[in-house]
Structure 1
Amino acid sequence: MATIPELLIQVAIGAVPLGVAAFAYRSATDANRRTQETAVTAAERQAELERTKVDAEAFARARQIYEDALAQLEKQLDRVQAQADRLSAQLAQEQDASNTMRDQVRALQGQISTLERTVGTLRRQLISAGITPQAGEGR
């Protein structure tokens, strides 16, 4: 039979592998948990990266649409400005023509007034000379 010290040594030698096994189990469990946490963190980072990538693509598309719309508005503004310039020039020409015609109408009205006075004077002279004025052929 074995003595107590030999039994204690055998138990101690038997306990070492159990301690090593428990330590290995605990280390493996901690490593698995850390691996899972790392995987979750990596997945979260990847998801955030994908969201950022989608946001960047959407921003780029929106920026392109905005720039295209801005370019079209600038072209339209240039066309409207050119049309306004043409209309302004045309208006100035029309105003000049109107002023010229107005001056001509005033001159003609002055001539008509002068002619009417002359006709009146000639009529009075004819009547005072004893001649009855005759209406024109068209009257």
Structure 2
Amino acid sequence: MSAEPQPVRRPRRETVTGVPRAGRRPPGHTPARSEISEQTTLGHTYVRALMRSQLRAALYALGTLALLVGSLPLLFALPAAAAPHGPGLSPEPFVWAALGFGVYPVMWLVAHGYVRRAERNERDFTGLVEGR
């Protein structure tokens, strides 16, 4: 009598499905969008937080621009006071080159950084409101 090995039976696989995650909300939780549209205290807090973050981004950009561009008169005064002016030597070409070619890229970079930060703030706020 030879004993043949019995095949191992695997349990049948089942797929369990449920309500999609986007449709689930904790009980008793109202969406932030309705809080904002109904002008509740929580909605007011959400909007104030967005406004505060946008103001912070604007003040940071303004401070950076004021620091970089506002210090140019001091920078221009240093070579004029330190360098002896001989025939044909004048700081005006340097001043015009710095104003013409140096300021605009700095302003563009600060503005670009501000716009990216403001869009990120709005995207985060939208994600908060929509529950993403």
TM-score by length of 1: 0.32
Which structure has more relative contact order (CA 8 Å, sep 6+)? It is 2
What TM-score do the two structures reach when normalised by structure 2? 0.34
Which structure dedicates a bigger proportion of its chain to helix?
1
Instruction: Name which one, 1 or 2, has greater alpha-carbon Rg.
Output: 1
